[in-house]
Each structure stands twice: as C-alpha cells, then as structure tokens.
Amino acid sequence: MSESSSAVSLVPGAPEGGRRRLSVVIPAKDEREGLEALLAAVYAALGECGGLEHEVIVVDDGSRDGTFERLRELQPRHPGLRGVRLSRNFGKEAALLAGLRAATGDAVITMDADLQHPPAVIPEMVARWRAGAKVVHGVTSRPSGARRRDRFASSAFNRLMRYLAGIEMRRASDFTLLDRVAADVVVRELPERRRFYRALTRWVGFRQESVVFDVPPRERGSSAWSSARLMDLAATGIVSFTSLPLRLVTFLGLATLVFAVVLVADTLWSWFTGTAVSGYATVEVTLLFVGSAVMISLGILGEYVARIYDEVKARPGYVVEEELGGAPRPDSPSLPTPAQGG
C-alpha cells in the first residue's frame, strides 16, 4: 500500500552502518488525555524498526491542560522520551521547527499527536529511508477533512500550489521522514519565519518517496484548525512559494485599462453620432469594477508586504520555556538558562 514519487536522488545515501538513530517529533497542544496512548503506539512501532536507537520529542505548544506535566509523569516509562515546552502557543509550524532543531537523530519523523497519523506506518517509512530515500512523505489514501467544504477547500488549495508554485500537494500531510541531510536544509538553510512545512519538505528536493496511509477516525475531540487558521496557512503557502499573484495584479490592471479604453471609445462614438450617452448604470458599473480591481490589488500587495515585515523584524519563531530530558542541539534557540526537568 505504497507509491513512489518520481523525484531523483541528488545526494548518494550514507552507508547503512551510519544510520543508527531515529528521532520522532510530535507537536502537541492540549493532548494530556491522549498522550499515554500516543506514546504506547509510537514506541510499539519503533520497536519494529530493526533495533534503531530512538528518541521521541513531544513539543508542548502552549497547552493549558497539563500536557507537559503528564509528559513528565510518563518519561520514566519510556527511554529516550524528551519534552520541549514553548512559552506560549506559537502554532504548529513553530512547534515543528522547535522539534526539528532539538532532534539529534540521523533521520527525523514528524507526526501529529491525535493518532490520525498512524504510528504503524513508521517501520515502512524507515525501510524506505534505509533503501536510500532522503524524504519519505506520508500521504492520505483519500482527501482529508470530515466535511465536504473542507475537502473542496483542500483540493482547491492543492491545485493552486501545483499550478502557481509547481509543488505537488495532493493528499499531503505533515507525517514525514527527513534524512539528516534534508532536515538540516529545512532547519538551517531556510530561515524564513512564516513557514509552510509540508511544502518545504517537497521543495528541498533529494530523492523523495511516498507511503500511503488510511486516516483513522478521530477518537476524541475535534480539529483545532479553524477556517481562519487554515486560510492563513494557505495564504502563507502561496505567498511563500510564488510571486505569480503579483503578476496577476499587473494583468488585472491591464484588463481594467482595456475596459476603460473600450468605454471611452464607446462614449466618443456615441457623441459623434449623436446617440445618447449611457448614464448612471454605466458610471456605476465602471466605478464598481475599477474599485474592486484596486482593492483586490491592494490586498495581494498587502499580503506580500506583511510577509516582508515579518521577516524584517527577525523575531524568533518561538521561545522555549523548559526542556525535559536530553541535551538540545547547539542551534536550538531557547532561554539563556532553560529549566531542566526530569
């Protein structure tokens, strides 16, 4: 139940003997109740990965239900379990980056905490990696989203990313394995602050393969992604990977110019022939058309300017309040003296 993409390997695989450690990064927000079941499933899957050393890093993204405290309680039962607590909710993209920076493995798997990314797929992803793949994507067997509206919106966005940015996002997810080479590119060589992880993992290139998985029904709660947050993520993806919307502003301006020329020609012709010039309706339609074109253009320009403003401020994408277990990677930003737990 797997499919391989057509990406070509750009860097030869490392020797099998050098691949000894696997990191699993799990962003979590208000996941206290499901944390024990999640870790049990993840560690069971890691046990089927052929004796790889492993670490599991749970990034607490501003939880209010005691997720980090529960993680502290569970740590003695699970060797290699680590925790990173962010000082507030910075969003999933920031939590993923924090986990990637903290990971020390020769490969890193990122997955959701709600078990809709089934841990049982991990051994197959590891097998693809051992066979030479640098990036292994988990793709869903059917369009994601419980509601028809969500599936339609997801499909429309994926088409936009394919046509505008040339990135195939069909049935994509954040369930991904990155070889250390690819992970270092994503973490160190791509410094943007407004990130779209699942597109970045495709943009980096290298040899990429895909593993198809079925999304199990959600056992509890509902998705934390509101329509507004999904729209913001979609805007980030489009603005970050293509400047074509800016060209569309130019085309829209040209279309408005052509419309104005035609309207002027019609007005002059009516004046020369003595025909009554169109009145209120023509003026109203013209004003609405031009006004709409101007507002749309300003909106598109505003999106790009806002992203530039975010980058120029150069604020860190997140702040680490506390780390639990292990030693962080030297390039992982945190407070000068983060409290250590465990």
- Tell me the pLDDT tens digit for each residue of 227-255: 555 566 566 666 666 666 767 777 777 77
Give the mean pLDDT of 162-166: 63
Give whichever of 119-123, 153-157, 316-320, 321-325 has the largest mean pLDDT: 119-123
Distance, in Å, from the CA atom of 238 to the CA atom of 165, rounded to the nearest integer, reads: 7
Q: Are 82 and 326 in contact (CB under 8 A)?
A: yes
Distance, in Å, from the CA atom of 278 to the CA atom of 281, rounded to the nearest integer, reads: 7
Model confidence band, residue 222 (pLDDT cutoffs 50, 70, 90):
low
Model confidence band, residue 108 (pLDDT cutoffs 50, 70, 90):
very high
- Which has more pLDDT, 102 or 302? 102
Longest CA span, the chain: 92
Q: Which residues of 162-198 are buried (b: 16+ CB within 10 A; e: fewer)?
A: eebbebbbebbbbbbbbbbbbbebbbeeeeebbbbbb
Q: Are 199 and 169 in contact (CB under 8 A)?
A: yes
- Tell me the pLDDT tens digit for each residue of 320-338: 888 887 655 555 554 443 4
Among candidate residues 71, 61, 175, 170, the one with its CA nearest the CA of residue 118:
175
Distance, in Å, from the CA atom of 7 to the CA atom of 131, rounded to the nearest integer, reads: 15
Model confidence band, residue 6 (pLDDT cutoffs 50, 70, 90):
very low
